[in-house]
Structure 1
Amino acid sequence: MSLLNGMGLTPVSFILNGIPGLEDVHLWISLPFCTMYSIALTGNFGLVYLIYTEQSFHRPMFIFLALLSITDVLMCTSTLPNTLCILWFNLKVIDFKACLAQMFFVHTFTGMESGVLMLMALDRYVAICYPLRYATILTNVVIAKAGLLTFLRGVLLVIPFTLLTKRLTYCRGNIIPHTYCDHMSVAKISCGNVQVNAIYGLMVALLIGGFDILCITISYTMILRAVVNLSSADARQKAFSTCTAHICAIVITYVPAFFTFFTHRFGGHTIPSHIHIIMANLYLLMPPTMNPIVYGVKTKQIRECVIRFLFKGKDNPSHDI
């Protein structure tokens, strides 16, 4: 075990043990992780570039999408480089303070991911239910304040995670059976009372995830009512089509999140630990990887812009004389 800090039972560092039981295939597991991370970086930076350079994309829907892409990149970058170092080079040691910092960023950006999806649902609600007031309701100032409040909500609710974890004593060792510092993974190796940690973690999940899902559900209930009342079938189809990409993003984000959250707390003895760890990594990797693809395929304006960008110059070749 690492040396202890001061007179307390706080380790100087932790050892992230990767995926216990699958050490022999760490390299093979790293390949899809690395591929997904590369796709996530390329796709999200590409989306942000398109939204920044195309004047027609300077609208609330696409600004929220750019915010989602930035959040996705930060979320997966908070863990994946470190995870790949463990899987490739067996670099398992992480400083105690670095572990707390990683924990803070992981939970802050996952909370912000949920918040941005909620804001995007509200954006669709205003666009479909109040189309004539859309531009006056969702001004740049309102968007900036909403994004800032979403970020601050995550920061203020996650800071106690690090404080509660820091106060614990670690007399059982410093080996964490995980690829990154997750709140409960670190707390579980403590010999202190982690009941407060578990209760607070559940409260934050309800305050962030529960509140956001409630807002998303109400928004889409109102959207559905508004769309059903439209007289034209074409208008109904067009209204639904503007929501399909966002609905896919919600499913991609929340399904792995629910699996990770509930199995971590209620299925610890029935589901193998390596399944927990792999799903916890996919929970941070799936949304950043799939969201750019989903929005690129489902959103007509983005799809046409990408095609135009890829094939520009072919339609109007220059003829040097």
Structure 2
Amino acid sequence: MARPLFRHDSSLRHDTGSHPERAGRIVAVERELAARDWCGFDVRESPEATLEQLLAVHPRPHVERIRALAATGGGRIDADTIVSAGSWEAALHAAGGAVAVVDALLGGEATRAASLHRPPGHHCETAEPMGFCLFNNVAVAARHATRVHGLRRVLVFDWDVHHGNGTAEIFAGSDEVLFVSIHEFPLYPGSGRPTEQGHGAGEGLTVNLPVPGGTGDPTWLGMTEDVVLPIARAWAPELILVSAGYDAHADDPLAGCEVTDDGFRRMAGAVHRLASELDVPLGLVLEGGYDVDALARSVAATLEAWSAEPGEAPAPGGPDPVVDRARAFFAERWPGVAPAV
């Protein structure tokens, strides 16, 4: 079965200059993947997202703001978030690539797929671009899965080192999307406490797993194996989307975590194993990662893990106080998360 990988040259025309979120990120990733024969994935050009797909998440004034700013040559939305003349096209393909992942997975063509574009998306809220993000690509994809394909349970697992505040805000009141995030805290954007659990129909379907700076593979893998996977099994998603940022890497300049290439490989393997166990499709949408070499290697490690046969679950690790606190906090709501003994 095909494993499509969606990309587009427009990602290089989103001109942010010397900004950490720069075109060289995509250049490095594609160079590394090409050297590894694209890790067995089938490279395709992404489509543009349609206006209807964007408006399913973002109000029209938000969309028009991005279009108009790009049409006039660009400018800064805030201190971190830049629009250039090429950003409108790039943003359409970034969202469109994520939608294309969903269509490939839910159309029966593939069980694994990836969208590798910029700008990233998970900080963009319903009506507020921020944190390098113009549209919320993974949210557009998840909403497409529920509205167009009729899914009732989508899991978005965000392992970017920064909390995906935009995705959390967009789906906070929804009973169709379970949003689970491992992120460094405190760190930009300042949200993502465990007590932030959604509201209304979405109460309990936002799961925030903050970790302190300095944590590396044992904590991130422990959170994945001992908290994320049991919650996901209880939720029984029909689709898993990974909001895949690689800025928790030890080499990344914008955060303080210590995850290695192998750590990302093993996290990817855990989610791959989960999707196989549940017999549901699995897609990746690229988020952050600002040391370009570490980013490129870690993306490749993820895709290689997804191209291999799912491995066995690892033996339980030793005690980890960060993971143990999360297990204790979520055990009552999610019985599959056994508190540490």
TM-score by length of structure 2 reads: 0.26
Higher relative contact order (CA 8 A, sep 6+): 1
Q: TM-score, normalised by structure 1?
A: 0.27
Which structure carries more helix by proportion?
1
Of the two, which has the highest radius of gyration? 1
